[in-house]
Structure 1
């Protein structure tokens, strides 16, 4: 079946509708919370911050600008970034089940965060947890790349196996620290490893923006080489693509982008697995349109998941990763039953 993108004007209509939905969800996400706000007041605050109209001051403005707007922006960055990383990894490994957390990145980030929560403590203030998670993710990525460098081949199967081995290793280390460290911190460990957006602030938001920007730039800059890889390694090589070098470059950049995102959001799974498949069904496999559409759908998915996490057990908040994992499990079952 041909993708809908084959129809004239479909891409423009898709992106216009998706952008409008994303804006509406962002406003709803800002308005909803422990203190519900009128969406019209939210719009006035945002327009006032942009210098349009009189705006709204007082507690409402502080809630919107200081608390909820950074959270919504982080959700957009994390959703878009993880979705694009999923596209990159699925193409380079030729594995439809590849996602950012198949290669040990989430396990490394979790180990770094849990070491702070249970062992080392909050020594760098608000930056301690993101910094530790970022370092842990980079260490796990470096371990995978080191294992790959010691192999004669650089095929996708070796990359997957190396990632799984590192993932299990850091998972075991995380479990050991949970039991050996402060048992009173178990709830904090559970909430972070299940993913959440509670760390969002204007101080650390640039980290998330960097991760999303790096993912977008990688996907767009390498789109032609990734398109060549769709025909197989021999075809890509005949077109002048160094497949081994491309695979390592994509993994390294994807690891850096993922580390930047999960350092703030925790382990939010299945976004990078689901969204690329949905985007391909809409716009096909060419990476120019695929990257842009995946970013848009990923941002929408995470905004919806964040809203659901605050509604299901309101006023208590669920970890966002629980919502995305449930949606991802249903998605995989639907794919299996359909094919």
Structure 2
């Protein structure tokens, strides 16, 4: 029975990933058959794998537009869900998510500066670079606001993150108010999240950051499990709580800042996905972290698909979809906690 489970789950998850990616690339305002999609992908990976019985327009839609968009959605969803799965046990707060540290607000502030006030001084990378700089600025401010002596306590870091988030949100709103009204629509779309600007050259950075985060976090799941039981228990088990929590917050901020820099501010994925995963696999972070990354990627690809189809041929900001679903998840989490 155990051997069957070991074979079933990887096969099931691989099939689910394949179906989700196929749907994300195939469906849209101009539907393309799944068989044609994978023929086009195969031809780009290995020239002349199949006879090209499709138009150049379909080739461009699949390879230049939808496929990088789906992959970016998978990476961003994985990163945000992984961050939520780390922050919730690290802070012992079931409502913690990647926006907790003010990182998303800092990234939005940086992006607004680029979109409204500096212009595209670094070409296509201007908005991601400015957004990432804003995220790093917010990350640096959180421990400063928390204070040096007790700054690594979970409750102080959470409160400091909320303060920093409100501060950068206010600054961002001020810049929108003072900026060119004609560019406001672009700014609002970015602040609500979207994957429409995805390009192949953008994918390397979120992929590397996500990989590095997993390489650090997966060997350190036992200290994270200990922190979920409380600081005193973790200290008794030999965990340097203040130092480890600081490292976790820096990793979370780095991942969130990178993802938000390329996708805009997408809410609720990091909040609801870890709870969904724990309901499926339990609370052991050795399973929760990789499963959260996988499910988060699938959820965001599907959310983006809904956003593209809902008002086709226009693109709805993906943050609207995740916000609606996330609100339902938020109510479910609160009722679940109150029933205990």
The answer to whether residue 132 in structure 2 is matched with residue 134 in structure 1 is yes
Distance 1:237 1:314, change over 3 A: same
Residues 153 and 177 of structure 1: CA distance in aligned 2, closer, same or farther (over 3 Å): closer
CA displacement 1:174-205 (0-9 Å, x = unmatched): 00000011111110111000000012111111
1:158 offset after TM fit, Å?
Answer: 0.3
Determine if contact 2:151/2:157 at 8 Å carries over to the other structure: no
For the pair 1:32 / 2:48, whether they are aligned, the reply is no
- Find the counterpart in structure 2 of residue 163 from structure 1: 161
Which of 49, 53, 68 is matched with 1:53 structurally? 49
- 1:4 corresponds to: none
CA 1:12–1:178 in structure 2 vs 1: closer, same or farther (change >3 Å)?
A: farther
- Note the C-alpha offset of 1:206: 1.0
SS in structure 2 of the partner of residue 102 of structure 1: helix
Q: What is the aligned partner in structure 2 of residue 20 from structure 1? A: 15
Q: Is the 8 A contact 1:77 1:211 kept in 2?
A: no
Q: Which residue of 2 is the match for residue 154 of structure 1?
A: 152
Distance (Å, rounded) in 1 between the aligned partners of 2:51 and 2:269:
35
Q: Aligned match of 1:327 in 325, 329, 333?
A: 325
Give the equivalent residue in structure 1 for 2:170. Answer: 172
- Counterpart residue number, 2:37: 42
The answer for unaligned runs of 5 or more in structure 1 is: 1-6
TM-score for the superposition, normalised by structure 1: 0.93
2:252 is equivalent to residue 254 of structure 1: yes
> Contact (CA 8 Å) 2:150, 2:156: kept in 1 or not?
no
Contact in 2 for aligned 1:210/1:260 (Cα 8 Å): no
What is the CA-CA distance between 1:8 and the residue it aligns to?
8.0
CA RMSD of aligned residues (A): 1.9
Q: Would the aligned equivalents of 1:118 and 1:183 in 2 still touch at CA under 8 Å?
A: no
1:177-188 to structure 2, matched below 5 A, reads 177-188=175-186
The answer to whether the Cα contact below 8 Å between 2:191 and 2:265 also exists between their aligned partners in 1 is yes
Shift in Å, 1:296? 1.3
Deviation at 1:151, TM superposition (A): 3.4
**Distance change >3 Å, CA 140–CA 14, structure 1 → 2:** same
Distance 1:160 1:267 in 2: 19
Determine which of 229, 245, 248 is the counterpart of 1:231: 229
Structure 2: give runs of 5+ residues left out of the alignment. Answer: none
Deviation at 1:159, TM superposition (A): 0.5
Residues 207 and 181 of structure 1: is their aligned pair in 2 closer, same or farther, counting only changes over 3 Å?
same
Number of residue-to-residue matches in the alignment: 334
Match of 2:66 in 1: 68
Distance 2:324 2:3 in 1: 35
Distance 2:51 2:138 in 1: 46
Indicate if the aligned counterparts of 2:143 and 2:151 stay in contact, CA closer than 8 A.
Answer: no
Q: Per the alignment, do residues 221 and 179 of structure 1 end up closer, same or farther by CA in structure 2, a change over 3 Å counting? A: same
Equivalent position of 1:87 in the other structure: 85
Match of 1:101, SS state, is helix
Q: Using the alignment, how far apart are the partners of 1:194 and 1:108 within structure 2?
A: 14
- Asked if 2 retains the 8 angstrom alpha-carbon contact of 1:122 and 1:128, the reply is yes
Shift in CA distance, 293/45, structure 1 to aligned 2, threshold 3 Å: same
